[in-house]
Chains A and B, each alone.
Chain A
Amino acid sequence: MSQAQLIQGNEACVKGALAAGCRFYGGYPITPSSEIAEQMVRLLPDLGGVFIQMEDEIASLASVIGASLAGSKAMTATSGPGFSLMQEHIGYAAMTEVPCVVVNVMRGGPSTGLPTSPSQGDVMQARWGTHGDHPAIVLAPSSVAEVFDVTVKAFNLAERFRTPVIILYDEIIGHTRESVVLPDSIEVVDRVQPTDAPADFWPMIAPDDGVPPLPAFGDGYRFHVTGLAHDERGFPTNDAQVAEALVARLHNKIDAHLDEVIEVDTYMVDDAEIAVFAYGIVGRSAREAVMRARDNGIKAGLIRPVTLWPFPYEQVAEVAAQVDTILVAEMNLGQIIGEVERAAAGKAEIKGYLRADGEPITPTALLEAITPDKEGQR
């Protein structure tokens, strides 16, 4: 039985990554994510891993992709400004199907913004920040313990689907110390290796699940990797049908396995009249607000997605059919709320509790927002 330990979210991220098999870290310093690099450089060498501080965030993710192609599980961590620079290679990793994990410890923006304050302003950038149609898996833990679990899951999904996976949490979760008991053992997924002989190997032929095997550079399989649209041999093409099939497969390999990707936590929604939709640190405030509202006789509930993208449309639609109102609380001026509206499709009234001033959304504020006034209005 593991002991309880008092650790930061950023430390839990490192522990989760190492447990999942991460053996390469390439990064660039930025508040409030730097503790991840500072822990990695101390812990990776003894595990046979390698650390490098790169010259910028563009290079950081490039080094991670290079290391992943060499067979290492690899990650980087950053915050808003660095995340913007990483978009180029998030798209490259999606197109070339190179497993990797990118952690974005969100701070206030835009631009250099509020470096030491929390934010959830990168939710849409995490989905659409890189150009072109691409799949995205984005996970948002709401506690230090969940950072560990989600980091393990991120590596496993990256390996399972050969895709970049983004972890979004904010400055509060990154820096808060909480007592956690980490699991003794976890499930670890490794990328599938080819069964064809090297001479017969075409790198982009996918089996039925849409995920081609990925041998490491140097293991005897000689193949080409390119960010250009490519055929099953991995070679560039301008053929419209081939390009369409590739982009479709990149999406379908994830869309066909949403049950493996989507994780949603609900709390007291069965008889709820109002549900709070919140993720990350706001999910914590929302849970407290729901508990207090219940104490006051208000039928409130919580829907808290751990998986932000692919967005859990089905799960939100189910809740929308049960409740009168969904209150979307996020630390931005309204990003994921649009997806909640799409999912609800008019079945529930959607309201927002939005704030982008670098201050957290408190339970008291949310309790007030879900408590009807004398006229019964919220």
Chain B
Amino acid sequence: MTDVKTYLREWAMPHVLCPGCAHGIVLRSFLNAVDQLQIDQDKLAMVAGIGCSSRLVGYVDFCTLHGTHGRAPAFATGLKLARPDLKVVVVTGDGDALAIGGNHLIHAARRNIDITVLLLNNSIYGMTGGQAAPTTPEGALASTTPAGNTEPNFDACKLLMGAGASFVARVLAANPMDMTKVMADGLDHPGFSFIEVISDCPEYFGRYNKVGGGAEMLTWMSVRDEGVAGPLAEKRFVNHIPIESVPSGMETGVLQREIRPVYAGVRKVEDHES
């Protein structure tokens, strides 16, 4: 196995992530998957939007594009169409991909363009200081929901299945081995692969909601297997939301996998690589 440092820009360290943040575990698991598949370092492009998870691409020694908020799938689409020989991976967060970038994400999925999207879901906007996201569970506290979140949250995987993604999976940052396996499967999948990683944000989500630090949040994920919505099911912040309305758990693993034609843009048929 290759030394993981081969894939890192050590000169760019220290990184910007907070103590207890699981994004580093996610990155390590991803690099293990890249290594397992022996992907050519020169032919891997990582494209990110804006947010904590998106900053990961600065630290990996590939061709890396740190774009604009929510637009990573659109940048990745142009990149992949112009250079089909590149393996293109989008790293995004829940606010980036599901709020401001929702449109780009669902259309990339619908086209079944051959890119992989890793959505690191920490249930909150971390980079900007803990505001509520479309993934923040009902009732949870955030800096913009001081009385508790009254909006329902997205199930990202269901959204992507509805949009036509040909590979959809959910994994937990608490289970690095599973993450690597599913990420390798996703990278290998011909067409659009979407992997939601339940990560954490101890600094804002954990602190505001008194659900503990990084270790506690990871423990919850692993024992309850239901992501960050789980621990909150027993915590009520907004009295008028009945406890029954909170999702009881999240399915993990590969949730959808099908082979259908891969989109390669409008081009000459003989140029069509797949």
Interface residues of A (CB under 8 A from B): 23-24, 26, 41, 44-46, 48-52, 54-56, 58-60, 62-72, 74, 88-89, 92, 216-228, 233, 235-236
How many interface residues does chain B have, given as a range?
35 or more
Most buried by A among B9, B82, B86, B104: B82
Total residue contacts A-B, CB cutoff 8 A:
145
Q: Is the CB of A216 within 8 A of B75?
A: no
Which one of B12, B83, B86, B266 contacts A52 once the chains associate, using CB atoms below 8 Å? B266
Set of chain B residues within 8 Å of A216, measured between Cβ atoms: 83
Which one of B66, B77, B103, B264 contacts A226 once the chains associate, using CB atoms below 8 Å? B66
Set of chain B residues within 8 Å of A228, measured between Cβ atoms: 66
Q: Is the CB of A74 within 8 A of B266?
A: no
Interface membership of B146, Cβ < 8 A = no
Residue of B nearest to A92 (CB): B68
Interface membership of B3, Cβ < 8 A = no
- CB within 8 Å for A45 and B268 given contacts A66-B74, A217-B83, A218-B45: yes
Which one of B12, B61, B78, B85 contacts A65 once the chains associate, using CB atoms below 8 Å? B78
- CB within 8 Å for A44 and B266 given contacts A71-B83, A217-B86: yes
From residue B12, how far is it (CB to closest CB) to chain A in Å? 6
Residue interface bits B81-114, CB-to-A below 8 A is 1, else 0: 1110110000000000000000110010000000
- Give Cα A71–Cα B80 distance, bound, in whole angstroms: 11
Residue of B nearest to A24 (CB): B82
From residue A87, how far is it (CB to closest CB) to chain B in Å? 11
- CB within 8 Å for A46 and B268 given contacts A26-B78, A54-B77, A217-B45: yes
Which one of B12, B43, B58, B75 contacts A66 once the chains associate, using CB atoms below 8 Å? B75
- Give Cα A235–Cα B57 distance, bound, in whole angstroms: 11
Which one of B64, B83, B266, B268 contacts A225 once the chains associate, using CB atoms below 8 Å? B64
- Give Cα A67–Cα B76 distance, bound, in whole angstroms: 9
Interface membership of B79, Cβ < 8 A = yes
Interface membership of B63, Cβ < 8 A = yes
Q: Is the CB of B74 within 8 A of A63?
A: yes
- CB within 8 Å for A227 and B68 given contacts A24-B82, A59-B103, A70-B79: yes
Which one of A23, A50, A67, A70 contacts B266 once the chains associate, using CB atoms below 8 Å? A50
Q: Is the CB of A66 within 8 A of B78?
A: yes
Set of chain B residues within 8 Å of A219, measured between Cβ atoms: 42
Q: Is the CB of B63 within 8 A of A62?
A: no
Q: Is the CB of A66 within 8 A of B65?
A: yes
From residue A47, how far is it (CB to closest CB) to chain B in Å? 9
Set of chain A residues within 8 Å of B65, measured between Cβ atoms: 66, 69, 217, 225
Q: Is the CB of A66 within 8 A of B68?
A: no
- Give Cα A59–Cα B111 distance, bound, in whole angstroms: 14
- Give Cα A139–Cα B81 distance, bound, in whole angstroms: 28
